[in-house]
Structure 1
Amino acid sequence: MKHAGPTIDVVIPTYNRRDLLPEAIASIKAQTLPVARIFIVDDGSTDGTIEWVRTLAQDDPAIELVEMQHGGANVARNAGIARAQSEWVAFLDSDDAWEPEKLERQFALLEERPDLVGLFCGFRLVGIKVEKIHRPRDNPSLLDLRCANGLGSTSGAVIRRSALQEATGFNPELPSCQDWDLWFRLRRIGPMGVARLPLVRFNCGPHERITTNMNKVLSGHRAIFANLLADVERAGERARIRSQHKLVEADIKRRFGSNGAALWLILRSFFQAPSKRALAVGWRTTRGIWDDLRQPRPASAA
């Protein structure tokens, strides 16, 4: 299918990802809907990334290297947003990749919904034993986004540049969950559309990323929870948000192996505001604990 589409710039923050970055760039170049510019924002790499991108940019006028001191991925993303000039800005982490039709399918949403300020899509989680698919909910309400980040990570997002400017970009003061924080502020500006096909390959491999650090993830979650709850006055909504945040924290604990703590949070969530989601998360966590118990233990050393 053909789609002229608006102009698109892509921002890739990177830090010591020389081995993974080529696949990310290749997936942009393979898009059926071409992009105008690719801003590769290097966050102080020491592994040869800068030199490699500099050479690449000499042969490809669409690629621009932005060098900065190490300040974190969201400082880098904001630097890329500041350089962008197209109507839309897409984000791609340097360890993830897009399916070829990703942008085309997302921009097709505008044909029926031209008022969208953000375009999202499904994810395929790779680099794990059993690949999984995450499909975001289309146009979540503000209450939905107060409860959980239902839209996913930055690698699936394409946002109107004017909306990014109005929302003032990512908040670098948060230790994690900066994407969730920004999606909520953008949703105040306008609706979000989702192409539910898994159009992003999200790399869950063993390389370093903030989502492999439980303390940072929990710290960011608790900070954004305080922000999202601050202006909610209705008691019922506050109870639902508190309950759902316990489920988010339970899922974080489960992912990092703290199954007992996860189950306790699920029970507290269910008694605070019973929901089908609490039952589903509880079942998933209980099944995970059972699977862990069934794993053979390594033999003791003689």
Structure 2
Amino acid sequence: MTAVAAGHSHGAPAISVLIPTFNRREIALRCIAALDAQQLPPGTMEVIMVDDGSSDGTAAAILAAGARMATPITCLTQSNAGANAARNRAIAASRAPLALFLNDDSIAAPGMVAEHLRQHAAHPAETDAVLGGLLLPEAPPPGLFEVLHHDAALAVRPAGEDLGWRAFYTFNLSVKTSLLRRHGGFNPDLRWHEDIEFGRRLSADGLRVLHAPAATAVHLHPMNEAGWLGIADREGRALAAWLVHEPGLRDELVQLGLHSLKLGTRAPRHAMADLVLKLLTEPAALWVARRLARRQPKAAAAVYRKLFQARKRRAIDAALPDGFV
């Protein structure tokens, strides 16, 4: 493992922006460029990006770009071990009392980091975290799968509301660094729902996740059919792994989508959907969805959501050990 640093040091910063990345060099470059354009006094912020074993030259590109920026940019590299392992490395390297987690495809609006700092000044308790907003880009218009991948439900929640541990989303989330370190960091064995699992552990200590939609980033994540449906498989496997690790969380995990034939947690409506998809077969349902997508995107989205949930349920049952109840 190696570490490379770029940019210019201004002493201990007020906030560290922590970003895992993997094989998305061009988007990662846009991410750090948006951070360098933040409306902040010099020395307020440092950026720590952890390259999780990329093969596209991400680390070298970040180093070269960071050398031209006023913001201190550090890029750590590691063999591919997942986003949680990368986040833990970044936490260990952080020099600031506040940690702001971004995904590499979260492109910060100019006042985003300043708003996180303002929120923490107003909410100084160690267990107060702040979740910023995440918007789809306006141009070019997002495609069907970008819309399906985007969680629009948070946008209607009031500013200042405590969203709870289930909203511990690291796409735009700031937390006191001392709280993260005191609880041992993220679970590196999880590859999906890996952030909210840590949020659940922190909730035992009184975690609040305060909604700050004015701390805005744009989600720049091109998505196609295979990529979106693949998330269903990853999410299902992660829910099964989480249950095996913490069986006592069964009821809470059902609320997150742990609907399983093996566990008896599959609702009647899920059984009906699975029966229909088995009768149609998934290829036929995909054919219908693709045809609808050309002229009736809303109808296509409804079919794709059914396919997604059915695939997630199959992935959960496949990942659960035989005899596990």
Scaled by the length of structure 2, the TM-score of the pair is 0.64
Match of 2:20 in 1: 13
Match of 1:300 in 2: none
Match of 2:185 in 1: 169
Question: Hey, what's the Cα distance between the residues in 2 that align with 1:102 and 1:187?
Answer: 25
Match of 2:208 in 1: 191
Match of 1:217 in 2: 235
Question: Hey, what's the Cα distance between the residues in 2 that align with 1:105 and 1:293?
Answer: 34
Shift of 1:175: 2.9
- Compared CA separation, residues 229 and 119, structure 1 to 2 (3 A): farther
- Compared CA separation, residues 183 and 67, structure 1 to 2 (3 A): same
My pick for the range that moved more, 172-181 or 105-114, is: 105-114
My pick for the range that moved more, 219-228 or 21-30, is: 219-228
- Compared CA separation, residues 112 and 213, structure 1 to 2 (3 A): closer
My pick for the range that moved more, 131-140 or 75-84, is: 131-140
Question: Hey, what's the Cα distance between the residues in 2 that align with 1:102 and 1:50?
Answer: 24
- Compared CA separation, residues 186 and 289, structure 1 to 2 (3 A): same
Shift of 1:92: 1.6
Q: Which amino acid aligns with 2:222?
A: G
Alignment of 1:78 with 2:78, yes or no, is no
Question: Hey, what's the Cα distance between the residues in 2 that align with 1:180 and 1:17?
Answer: 23
Contact 1:42 1:76 in 2 (8 A): yes
Aligned pairs for 1:130-149 within 5 A? 133-135=152-154, 138-141=161-164, 145=165, 149=166
Alignment of 1:95 with 2:105, yes or no, is yes
Contact 2:17 2:47 in 1 (8 A): yes
Match of 1:276 in 2: none
Question: Hey, what's the Cα distance between the residues in 2 that align with 1:120 and 1:93?
Answer: 13
Structure 1 stretches of 4+ with a deviation exceeding 6 A read: 207-211
Identity within the alignment, %: 22
Match of 1:264 in 2: 269
Question: Hey, what's the Cα distance between the residues in 2 that align with 1:17 and 1:290?
Answer: 30
Return 5+ residue gaps in structure 1 as ranges. Answer: 1-5, 233-237, 251-260, 269-287, 296-302
My pick for the range that moved more, 79-88 or 185-194, is: 185-194
Contact 2:84 2:190 in 1 (8 A): no
Match of 2:255 in 1: 244
Question: Hey, what's the Cα distance between the residues in 2 that align with 1:99 and 1:20?
Answer: 15
- Compared CA separation, residues 262 and 10, structure 1 to 2 (3 A): farther
Equivalent residue of 1:205, what SS?
A: coil
Shift of 1:62: 0.4
Shift of 1:292: 2.8
* Residue from 230, 234, 242 that aligns with 2:248: 230
Match of 2:300 in 1: 292
Q: Which amino acid aligns with 2:82?
A: G
My pick for the range that moved more, 120-129 or 168-177, is: 120-129
Question: Hey, what's the Cα distance between the residues in 1 that align with 2:217 and 2:267?
Answer: 28
Question: Hey, what's the Cα distance between the residues in 1 that align with 2:216 and 2:302?
Answer: 34
Scaled by the length of structure 1, the TM-score of the pair is 0.68
Shift of 1:44: 1.6
Equivalent residue of 2:136, what SS?
A: strand
Question: Hey, what's the Cα distance between the residues in 1 that align with 2:97 and 2:229?
Answer: 30
Q: Which amino acid aligns with 1:128?
A: G
Shift of 1:229: 6.2
* Residue from 153, 171, 179 that aligns with 2:195: 179
Question: Hey, what's the Cα distance between the residues in 1 that align with 2:228 and 2:201?
Answer: 22
- Compared CA separation, residues 211 and 289, structure 1 to 2 (3 A): closer
Equivalent residue of 1:19, what SS?
A: helix
Match of 2:135 in 1: 124
